[in-house]
Structure formats: structure tokens, C-alpha cells
Amino acid sequence: MLATAFSAVVVATVIAGCTSSDGTGSPSTTEGGSITVFAAASLESAFTEIGEQFETDNPGSSVEFSFAGSSALVTQLTQGADADVFASADARNMDKAVAAGLVEGGPVDFATNTLTIVVAPGNPKGIKSFADLATPGLNVVVCAPVVPCGGATEKVEKATGVTLDPVSEETSVTDVLGKVTSGQADAGLVYVTDAAGAGDKVTSVAVPEAAQAVNTYPIAVLKESGDTQLAQRFVDLVTGAAGQKALAKAGFAKP
């Protein structure tokens, strides 16, 4: 019995020695582990590539993504959704996460994005400017105002003095793109990165006034992360050289 008790103490001591605290009361992971990243829909292409690099750099670790409109992601987080990292398409929604006490430390800006018009290949409607989107009978789709791309759209409307009358307001920029590529809409306002990712499925029409509505993307580790060290490694990868290269390839500009 004494030998058994001694063995139990030794095992417990070894386990304790192999586990370190990350300052949140949860064990930190030196190798292995899994994190969940909540990210704006427009980041899907770039973050998927960054995620593959992350798993290569951290053997035995994995990253799962939840892509959606930033406002929807913040709502999920404030309602108790589990995640380790949040990447927003604008400061407004990240500020909501900070105000709700969800963010560990402070957010870091890592990219910027601007709007462009997308239409069917060849631009059959002959759209040449933002003002053309107000043409009667033209089916235009935009993001809802609560979504970052929708907020940017409102800024462009103010800058141009042109008020749009969209047939629908979508909850994510990818939904806007989908309406155009599927032929359900004549035109839509999306980010330049989404237009680039769509390739020859769309034709882009530049919006010079969009320079007055640039969206800056912040990223942050979340307080309720099960592994803040691994989550911070992902943030460091995004803001580092490899992450910035992947973002630039997708069409994002530096913050």
C-alpha cells in the first residue's frame, strides 16, 4: 500500500511538472492542441492558407475556422460561443468584443480592404461607376449596414451623394458575391479580395470613392481561449511575414 501511494505521488508530480499555466488558469500547450478562429467571411481564402501553414509550424496542432459576417460572429461570441481568436473586418465589431470583455490584451490591425463593383462577365449592363448602380430597374445587392462591407457601402454613398435602392441586403460579403455569380443580381458591392477570388466568374468595376471607405481588419486572442499560447501563435503568424504574404496574395493591403 505504501509503494502504491508513493507511486501515485510520483505520477502526480511528473504530470504537474509537465503542465504549465498560461496565466488564465488553463494548462498551456507546448505541442499539439486545437484552436478555433472566428473570422470575417472575406478572410476565408487567405486564412485557409495561413491555417495550413500554422499546422505545419505547430506539429500535432490544428485550427478550425468559423467564417461569417463580423457582426454575426460578435453576436455568437457575446452569447457564449467558444473560440480562441477573433478576426474582424472592421474596428466597430472588434470594439464590441472588447466592450463585452471578451478580448485578451488588445487587438492588432493586420490588413485593409476596399470595395469594388462586381457584375456578370463582360459587364452586359454597361456599369461604369458607382452612380450607375442607382439606375432604375438594375438589380443591385449590398451588405446589410451592420456588416463591415455594408458600413463601407454607406460611406461611399455619402461620399458620392448617390443613394442605392438594393433588392437585398446580405449578412456577409460572400453572400453578395454569390448573388451576382448565380445571376440573381446584376451587380453587387464586395471587397476587391472577393472579386479577385471569383476570377473570371465576374467582371470588376473600380470605385475610386471607395478610397474614402477603407476597412481595417483587427485580430485578437479571446479571454476564454482554452490555449492562449497557441492562439497567440496564430495571431503572430497572421501579423508576421508568412501571414502578410498570404494576405497580399489574396489582395489585401497592409494596415
Q: Binding site membership for molybdate: which residues?
A: 42, 70, 173, 191
Cα four-point dihedral sign 219, 225, 226, 232: positive
> Residue 194 in contact with residue 173, Cβ under 8 Å?
yes
What are 61's strand-pairing partners? 33
Could you tell me which residues are annotated as the binding site? 42, 70, 173, 191
Instruction: Provide the 8-state DSSP code for 63.
Output: E
Instruction: Tell me the three state secondary structure of residue 213.
Output: coil
Question: What percentage of the chain's residues is helix, strand, coil (to nearest 5)?
Answer: 45, 25, 30
Bridging pattern class, strands 115-119 and 103-113: unpaired
What are 39's strand-pairing partners? 67, 87
Distance between CA 58 and CA 103 in Å, rounded?
Answer: 23
> Cell 509503494, residue?
3
> Residue 121 in contact with residue 203, Cβ under 8 Å?
yes
> Residue 237 in contact with residue 40, Cβ under 8 Å?
no
As given in the structure block, the three cell numbers for residue 167 are: 433588392
